Structure 1
Amino acid sequence: MRRDPTATPLRTTVTLVVVASVVALAVTLTASIPTHGPASRTLPAQIRVLIRAEVFFTTLNLVLLLALAGIYVRLYRDLPNKYTVSLVTLSLALLLYALTSNPLVHALLGFRPRPNVGAFVFVPDLFVGLAIVVLLYQSQT
């Protein structure tokens, strides 16, 4: 596989993050936010913002992890060994984490959002996202 000589690891990583951010923002702004309790109950504006933030970060992580898993699968095809199998397994496990922690997936499966929505509900997803960006950058070098 030939690489573009102008594509640096930083440029590629930034491009992936920008594209994933646009996709996550589009999903966040177009998706209807699931409600707590009865379907007729309205959520306070602050809670809706927190749920939208969680949707954004979990969707961002999901898109970034799809790219990372693709990179690791390609690496495994070129270099099949225990280490690359571990990288593919790690990215798939994180992908499942991002998928199952997204409130939109909960709503699609018929579950109501958990009632313990607070200011720190999306912070773990933010840190996972930072770790994914580091892995993406390292996989480009």
Structure 2
Amino acid sequence: MTRDLTPLTKTAAVAAVAALCGLVAGVALPVVPMPPPIDHHAFLETFVRVQFAVSTFNLVLLAALVVAYVGIYRDLPNKYTLSLLLTSVALFLYALSSNPLAPMAFGFPPITGLGPFTFLPNFFVGVAVVVLFYQSQT
């Protein structure tokens, strides 16, 4: 006895399981031993510079991709091109929020990793993955 689920139901079920796994992982985090903090200023400065370079590279490419998908969606407005557009927007927001300058723009310290920029980049990737998963089901 098998039951065919709608694509939206499948996507919601997978997203719910993923959210539950994320919640369990977040609750279990204090059990995981944390490495001692690195106290090397030059190392952190290099890491921030590399992160800035990579996230800026991704940001520029994703901005071009969003513009391209907007053009495609104008010419061919269907759910597939809309999904591609939404995915590229979510990934663009990921690149924007993962840039080291983003926390500073909103008044958070850039290196500590505290504040909403700790989880925002991964949230946007999650949105993109949900859209892609939903699209794969239709």
Once residues 111 and 44 of structure 2 are traced to their aligned partners in structure 1, the CA distance between those partners, rounded to angstroms, is 11
Partner-residue secondary structure (3-state), 2:54: helix
The 5 A counterparts of 1:45-60 are 45-60=42-57
Question: Which residue of the partner structure matches residue 107 of structure 2?
Answer: 110
Q: Partners of 1:89 and 1:69 in 2: how far apart?
A: 9
Please tell me whether residue 73 in structure 1 is matched to residue 70 in structure 2.
yes
Match of 1:95 in 2: 92
Q: Tell me the alpha carbon deviations over residues 42-98 of structure 1, each in whole angstroms, 9 at most, x when there is no partner.
A: x71111011000011111111100000011110001111000000100000001111
C-alpha deviation, 1:114, in angstroms = 4.0
Residues matched between the structures, number: 76
Structure with larger Rg: 2
Consecutive unaligned residues in structure 2, runs of 5 or more: 1-39, 114-124, 126-138
What is the RMSD of the two structures over their aligned residues, measured on CA atoms?
2.1
Question: Which aligned runs of 4 or more in structure 1 are off by greater than 4 angstroms?
Answer: none
Provide the TM-score with structure 1 as the length reference.
0.50
Q: Secondary structure at the match of 2:109?
A: coil
Residue type matched to 1:76 in 2? Y
* Structure-2-length-normalised TM-score: 0.51
Structure 1 unaligned segments of length 5 or more: list them.
1-42, 117-127, 129-141
Partner Cα distance (2:42, 2:111) in 1:
16
Task: Please state whether the residue corresponding to 1:111 is helix, strand or coil.
Answer: coil
Q: CA deviation at 1:108?
A: 1.1
Q: Distance in 2 between matches of 1:115 and 1:66?
A: 27
% identical aligned pairs: 51
